[in-house]
Homo-oligomer: A and B are copies of this chain.
Amino acid sequence: MTAHGHDAPRAARPATGSGEGGRTVGDDRVMTVVRQWHAVHPGLATAPMELIGRLNRCAALLQQAEDAPLRSAGLSRAEFDLLGALRRTGRALTPGDLARETFSSGAAVTKRLKQLTERGLVERRGDSRDRRVIHIHLTEQGRDLVDGILPGQLAYEASVLSGLDTGEQADLTALLSALLVQLEGRLGGFRP
């Protein structure tokens, strides 16, 4: 959906109510976009757009924000995810496992592994029982790299979320979890 907006110059204005009770929607980019759509199609049911648009924008901004510190450490997010999957599972994984863990294609994983292997962050071993299978494990260097980066990433995340109080964060987490459970059930991506 086209939740992406543009920066119309605007004077300061009070937050705009957009629902029942105490629920308030702030003056963000999505609000601008929604208003534009209402002008074009009066009566358009935009509530889904108001939610999904914001979800996408928040995700985009957060991902973008996190990419910078990772880049400083010489890793892309995808690479960090892959290394992280190895670290948190605590065992060797096959390329297929890694593809599933990181919601990537096999081809992408192959490419990444090539690079990470060349950098000495992961190592490959064959499987004694099945010659098709490759096992990938973290090297000590790879593990140290992940362990060195993770606390800083988490601290950074805490920092960017600090604009919401802990109650709001917990509420948001719970609601997102409810949504995610629904989406995973409905659209796949997880089989509990």
Contacts and interface: CB of A to CB of B under 8 A. Distances in A.
Interface stretch (A32-40, A107-115, A117-125): A32-40
A176 interface: yes
Interface in A1-29: 1-2, 4-7, 9-10, 12, 18-20, 23-29
A117 to B, nearest CB: 19
Given A47-B169, A100-B7, A2 B179 contact: no
A69 to B, nearest CB: 11
A159 to B, nearest CB: 9
Given A177-B54, A186-B163, A6 B101 contact: yes
Given A45-B158, A173-B18, A179 B164 contact: yes
A184 interface: yes
Contacts of A26: 177-178, 180-181
Interface string A37-52: 1011100111111111
B180 A164 contact: no
Contact of A19 (B31, B147, B170): B170
Nearest to A57: B180
A170 B4 contact: no
Interface of A: 1-2, 4-7, 9-10, 12, 18-20, 23-31, 33, 36-37, 39-41, 44-52, 54-66, 80-81, 84-85, 87-90, 97, 100-103, 147, 150-151, 153-154, 157-158, 160-161, 163-164, 167-187, 189-192
